[in-house]
Structure 1
Amino acid sequence: MRANPRKIASAIFLLSHRTFFLRSSAFGIRWSTSYARRWSTPLAKSLAEAISTTGPISVAAYIRQCLTSASGGYYTSRLDGHDQFGQKGDFITSPEISQVFGELIGIWIVAEWMAQGKKSSGIHLMEVGPGRGTLMDDVLRTIRNFKDMAASIEAIYMVEASPALRDAQKNLLCGDTPIEEIDIGFRSSCKYLKQIKVIWCEDIKLVPKDNSKSPFILAHEFFDALPIHIFQSIPQKSPEPSIVTSTTATAGRPRVLNVCQWRELVVSPTLPSSIDSTLSTSTSLRSANRPPEFQLTVSSIATPHSMYLPETSARYKALASTPGSIIEISPESLSYASEFAIRIGGAPASGPASGFPLSTKPTPSGAALILDYGPAAVIPTNSLRGIQAHRIVSPFSSPGEVDLSADVDFMALAEAAINASPGVEVHGPVEQAAWLGAMGIRERAEMLLEKAKLDTSPRASGDREQKLKRIESGWKRLVDRGPTGMGRIYKAMAILPHYKNKSGRRPVGFGGGVTT
């Protein structure tokens, strides 16, 4: 989330070593024990055994294993029938709260299709990290009402690494239509638009790339689940620093330079005594009160990632000289944003003498809509969290049974997209409340309320009041701008085509209106 990199990573981490031993001169730790430690999950044991051989691992590697390991990952190995989504799961997403959310996204796609000239063919719909498929289901149910656009859609691509979630998406989007394996993944037929194929791929790079097509890409609560690396600016004393913060020099003495250098925060197991001494024989290994089995420490030497990732943006470099600064960087997120941009605007090509860059896609087209949570303009810091049964828990407890997420760096995504293609521009981020308000969430909710009130069928009358409450509370929850409200902490951002001679158009939801 090809040889398959997820399976390769899992194989590396599942090296089996029965005696727990940890030695790392880089981290100043050396201990061993034959103590039969009680791990909360099989993945926790596998991770600890791998770290005992390789040394502490990056936060990104830890997240990747916890979420997508073939041997106990949260999204890929849930064989107990547990559904991560909804009231009975660990968290609930916007499409599950109200159907209006997906309907408005469908309207946004139609509006962009209209603004780009109403192409009669070559439209590809794509969603990365589609969950149970609820969002795409609402989007397709909406788009089918716009016959011309519906007729222009050639394929629907679902980028999904979890077999269990793929099955849930297939049942929702395709019903009883059979699913078949193909060279890039799996394929079935859409129940709303019978002539259109729904195709599942494990990675976006498997989705065919065709400059004649117009991809409309959705990424809802996708980037927050991608692995991050965490770095801290640590004061160092070195005769040859990379970043100088202060100097002292006295006559007859060599000059000593005080510098700051980025060091990566890495994951290692906590000492057994700090965990098991707090447990009684009756304490559950998965108890919310159990101390975390893993911990973050600061690498005392540079890691490969600390030497190049903080150098990739001026935003990171500006913080390097401030001791204690912490930044979070997600290379996979930047890669996906770049991939979106290239599919919409084309890859860079050699420019003419004027210096204006050309694109390998003659006419940029399509759009990407990103909805996720994170700060609008600053670099996320200390945002890694675990989520279980709708509560925030330690990200270092019960690996594989706790969802992990981190705030999205929207400015980094925008920077990656613009740098990847000369044929795109970025709008936003704007608060979800503002975006949904501009898209007409109140008006659509009022229509649903009125329809529910007028429904006099026997089946409707029995639960009319509950339905009215669900509609009313649902849309208001999505636009709540309280300190932790979804309307405030969630943001919307769009990657759109950039036309050299037609700049200045603002899309609907981002300050503009519907154009035809």
Structure 2
Amino acid sequence: MREERERAKAEAEARAAAERKAREKAAAEARARREAEAAERARLAAEAKAKAEAEARARKEAKEKALAEERAKAEEKARLAAEAKAKAKAKAEAKARARAEAEAAAKAAAEAEARRKAEEKAKAEAEAKARAKAEAEARKKAEAEEKARLAAEAKAKAEAEKKAKAEAAAAEKARLEAEAAARAKAEAEAKARAEAEAAEAAERAKAEQQARIEAEAAERANIDLGKTFRRLIKETGPISLAQYMGESNARYYASRDPLGDQGDFITAPEISQMFGELIGLWFADLWVRMGSRKRIHYVELGPGRGTLSKDALATAARYEFAPQVHFVETSPTLRAIQREAFPDCHHHHDLSTLPDDAPLLIVANEFFDALPIRQLMRSADGWFERMVGLDGENFTFVAGKERMDDIVPPSWVKAAQGATIETSTAAVAVMEEIARRLKEQGGAALIVDYGHRELASGTTLQALKAHKKVDVFAHPGEADITAHVDFELLSHVAQANGADLMGLQCQGEWLRQMGIDTRLEALQRRNPGEADKLKRQRDRLVEDHQMGTLFKVLGICGRRWPFGVGFD
């Protein structure tokens, strides 16, 4: 405020000095004008006086001359007098004009002076007004700057307080997060310890179970299964075909590697790598279309030597598909072979111990055909089960005593006498478990086997030994006993338990749609010396008179999973 008063005082003194200087200048200019006017009047008076004196002298001379020539020149005198009078009149008029002009000039000068003064006054007033406006604007600006400064200080203070609060909140949050992280770490460590202990316990239990299974298998391997069956039939009566087939196959698979030239049969993966590769491509395509989930389980039922899985997973790995591998296998012999190919695989006696924490991608190739079946035959009195009895010491089919009409499909109840149908409660149970898991966990399953689209009358039971068909009763526990798969039944069971049906396709057509011919050409270019061999392998898998039509491919999946290719 003191500075403002001093500034205002200085401005007032400056204005007073300017006004004083202006007054002094105006007074000086007025004096100069008065002096100029006085000088002009004196000059005019001197001129008039000089003129008057000259005229007087002229009159005197004229008078003298006139007196001299008065008589002689009277007329001239009169003329001269007239001229003088005219001249005097002209001079008077000139003088009057000069005076008028002087007065006009004085008036113009006065008016100019008045205008100048008015302009100076207006200018002074404008300058004063401008100064007042500038001072007002300066005061307003100063007030605005002061207001802005105070607002900035208030804002800075508020921001500082806000920052301090935020830092305090962040520090508190960090403390709470650190405490939570510490608790979570402790809980995770405790959980990990518990899981490790549980895993160790599970491994011990699994090892104990495996040891029991192997011991039982070894015990069964040392028992003559034919004698066992004969003794059982003699003691209790005929046994079911499902029991005979189930125990025979359990003994058979537990004691040997049944595949290849030295075994009893050969499967599609052993015929050509193309089979497993295209299955791997099928699974990789599904996996990518479902978002390439990191957590996923690959499951093969009855993997044999693991050949199919080796080819399939090698192909799928090109798409960064790296699942946890699970094998459902009961044979100790085959488990050992599988573990050589997949050291990190997980073995399961059945589907009940498969993990339930992620989707499953399941493949079963020639698995369902080896599951035990029951045969039902229509007689004049209704449907009865075909049982296994004895004719002397030879096994033979005999009719059961209980009527089985209740388990016969409704459309077959009134079939012709002698009609025979096959059903498998074991296959139904496996498919129910697969469908339930796909519904709950998500995923897909591919079932490849030989069989029929619809239930038909007749027996498909057969036994293979050394790649030849033999009597199913000739070598119990020493031959591979199988039956055609009822794909109509499996499809109905899958849908009834919540799975979606992708489709059912002949193996040959499915492989064509998957691109087996394109793959064949690529392999032939890479191995021109084996082109014919590769073509024969392809034909065996695809052509109708070989495996192409007899073998079927069934695809099922969980709800909201995409359908796989190959079922158009």
Q: Give the TM-score normalised by structure 1.
A: 0.65
1:84 lines up with 2:145 in the alignment: no
1:118 lines up with 2:291 in the alignment: yes
Q: Secondary structure at the residue paired with 1:378?
A: coil
Greater RCO (Cα-Cα under 8 Å, separation 6 or more): 1
1:105 lines up with 2:279 in the alignment: yes
Q: Secondary structure at the residue paired with 2:412?
A: coil
1:377 lines up with 2:477 in the alignment: no
1:266 is displaced (CA, Å) by 0.2
Q: Secondary structure at the residue paired with 2:402?
A: coil
One-letter amino acid matched to 2:414: S
Contact 1:51 1:268 in 2 (8 A): yes
1:128-185 C-alpha deviation (Å, 9 max, x unpaired)? 11111111111111111112x32xx2x21100000000001111223xxxxxxxxxxx
1:65 lines up with 2:247 in the alignment: yes
Equivalent of residue 269 in structure 1, options 390, 407, 423: 390
1:434 lines up with 2:509 in the alignment: yes
Partner of 2:486: 409
Partner of 1:46: 228
Q: Secondary structure at the residue paired with 1:400?
A: coil
1:379 is displaced (CA, Å) by 4.0
Gaps of 5+ in 1: 16-40, 175-188, 190-197, 237-260, 273-292, 311-315, 347-360, 454-463, 512-516
1:76 is displaced (CA, Å) by 0.8
Partner of 2:351: 204
1:119 is displaced (CA, Å) by 3.4
Report % sequence identity.
35
1:298 lines up with 2:392 in the alignment: no
Aligned ranges for residues 154-193 of structure 1 at < 5 Å? 155-174=324-343, 189=344
Provide the C-alpha distance between the structure 1 equivalents of 2:252 and 2:291, rounded to a whole number of angstroms. 41
Q: Secondary structure at the residue paired with 1:299?
A: strand
Considering only CA atoms, is the larger Rg found in Structure 1 or Structure 2?
2
Contact 1:386 1:393 in 2 (8 A): yes
Contact 1:327 1:379 in 2 (8 A): yes
1:380 is displaced (CA, Å) by 6.3
One-letter amino acid matched to 1:113: W
Indicate how the Cα distance of structure 1 residues 76 and 47 shifts in structure 2: closer, same or farther if over 3 A, else same: same
Contact 2:445 2:557 in 1 (8 A): yes
Aligned ranges for residues 217-236 of structure 1 at < 5 Å? 217-236=362-381
Gaps of 5+ in 2: 1-205
Displaced runs of 4+ in structure 1, greater than 6 A? Answer: 2-5
Equivalent of residue 526 in structure 2, options 430, 433, 451: 451
Provide the C-alpha distance between the structure 1 equivalents of 2:531 and 2:342, rounded to a whole number of angstroms. 26
Q: Secondary structure at the residue paired with 1:267?
A: strand
Q: Secondary structure at the residue paired with 1:445?
A: helix
Contact 2:419 2:457 in 1 (8 A): no
The structure that is helix-richer by fraction is 2
1:94 lines up with 2:268 in the alignment: yes
Indicate how the Cα distance of structure 1 residues 295 and 431 shifts in structure 2: closer, same or farther if over 3 A, else same: same
1:496 lines up with 2:557 in the alignment: yes
1:301 is displaced (CA, Å) by 3.0
1:506 is displaced (CA, Å) by 4.7
Contact 1:380 1:408 in 2 (8 A): no
- The total of aligned residue pairs comes to 357
Partner of 1:277: none
1:510 lines up with 2:567 in the alignment: yes
One-letter amino acid matched to 1:203: D
Provide the C-alpha distance between the structure 1 equivalents of 2:379 and 2:504, rounded to a whole number of angstroms. 31
Aligned ranges for residues 214-253 of structure 1 at < 5 Å? 214-236=359-381
1:325 lines up with 2:419 in the alignment: yes
One-letter amino acid matched to 2:509: A
Provide the C-alpha distance between the structure 1 equivalents of 2:341 and 2:326, rounded to a whole number of angstroms. 15
Q: Secondary structure at the residue paired with 1:474?
A: helix
1:308 is displaced (CA, Å) by 4.7
Q: Secondary structure at the residue paired with 2:376?
A: strand
Equivalent of residue 477 in structure 1, options 540, 543, 566: 540
Indicate how the Cα distance of structure 1 residues 4 and 46 shifts in structure 2: closer, same or farther if over 3 A, else same: farther
Contact 2:377 2:418 in 1 (8 A): yes
Indicate how the Cα distance of structure 1 residues 380 and 417 shifts in structure 2: closer, same or farther if over 3 A, else same: farther
Partner of 1:309: 407
One-letter amino acid matched to 2:365: H
Provide the C-alpha distance between the structure 1 equivalents of 2:325 and 2:518, rounded to a whole number of angstroms. 29
Q: Secondary structure at the residue paired with 2:549?
A: helix
1:307 is displaced (CA, Å) by 5.9
Contact 1:112 1:507 in 2 (8 A): yes
1:247-274 C-alpha deviation (Å, 9 max, x unpaired)? xxxxxxxxxxxxxx221000013313xx
Provide the C-alpha distance between the structure 2 equivalents of 1:114 and 1:380, rounded to a whole number of angstroms. 42
Provide the C-alpha distance between the structure 2 equivalents of 1:132 and 1:167, rounded to a whole number of angstroms. 9
Q: Secondary structure at the residue paired with 1:300?
A: strand
Provide the C-alpha distance between the structure 2 equivalents of 1:95 and 1:368, rounded to a whole number of angstroms. 17
Provide the C-alpha distance between the structure 2 equivalents of 1:366 and 1:331, rounded to a whole number of angstroms. 24
Q: Secondary structure at the residue paired with 1:75?
A: helix
The structure that is strand-richer by fraction is 1
Provide the C-alpha distance between the structure 1 equivalents of 2:264 and 2:556, rounded to a whole number of angstroms. 30
